[in-house]
Amino acid sequence: MGSPNIQMSCMGAEREQARLSTQTSLFISDLHLASERPATVELFLAFLRGPARSAARLFILGDLFDAWIGDDDQTPMHYAVISGLRTLSDSGTACALMHGNRDFLIGTRFARAAGCRLLRDPTRIELDGEPLLLMHGDLLCTDDQPYQRFRRKIRNPLVKRLFLWKSLDARRRIAADYRRQSGKAMAAKTMETMDVNQNEVARRMQLAKSQRLVHGHTHRPADHEFLLNGRRAIRHVLADWHEDRGEFLKYHRNSWQRVIIGAHNLAE
């Protein structure tokens, strides 16, 4: 303490932090990329070459892929996405990726190749000094207890390892079965049980001491305002992507904006 050198370097670090934090951050989720839907993949790649380039940080909050059975499943689509993300991160945009319920098997091999940091769910960050809670969103759907039990089971490290030990063909078959079953189970559930539980939202935000939450998963894009600890709180729900339409949430200098993108405004 007291050394002028130390004080100066601390002040420098603070200034650097302030400068970085006022730059643009983008948030996306639920692209559900799949080889069978090449237009969505193209839209995402155009987004990486376009709007994402001018951002300081890109946060992908889960379900980037419709399915992920292991980093060793190398398809041309996976290569294209890895190379798009790598080009973006090499250009100076910091990319962070959170697992969704569809792609929670994304591992460090993928993350390293794509130049993305893997984020825990939940993750708390700060933007210009304001705490911000980031989640995929499925943890908030506590009314769906069978799903939460299933989630705990498949996220067990031993279960994951046993699955990844199987051959790619075996994993493909299991994933296809799972998708069929989950489709049937979803159809039987009410809209309410599949949305977030407001008590769980409040609990998670209080735990993180954050008045703002960004998540995806429910495919119900909206900005929900409510009171938390007597103060204004907000929950931004990210939009899912389609072949003709994507959307990102943009933070820049204390303002939040939803930007819709499609072939019309990403034409190159």
Report DSSP letters for 101-165, one per residue.
Answer: SSSTT--HHHHHHHTEEEE-SSEEEEETTEEEEE--SGGG-TT-HHHHHHHHHHTSHHHHHHHHH
Quote the least distance from Cβ 178 to Mn ion, whole Å: 14
Quote the least distance from Cβ 223 to Mn ion, whole Å: 19
Angle 109-173-43 from CA coordinates, rounded to 5°: 55
Nearer to Mn ion, 104 or 251 (CB): 104
Residue with smallest beta-carbon separation from Mn ion? 217
65 in Cβ contact with 82 (< 8 Å) = no
Quote the least distance from Cβ 129 to Mn ion, whole Å: 30
Whole-angstrom Cα distance, residue 89 to residue 185?
38
26 in Cβ contact with 247 (< 8 Å) = no
Nearer to Mn ion, 183 or 230 (CB): 183
Nearer to Mn ion, 33 or 127 (CB): 33
Quote the least distance from Cβ 137 to Mn ion, whole Å: 6
Query: Which residues lie near Mn ion (CB under 5 A)?
Result: 63, 100-101, 217
Nearer to Mn ion, 237 or 261 (CB): 237
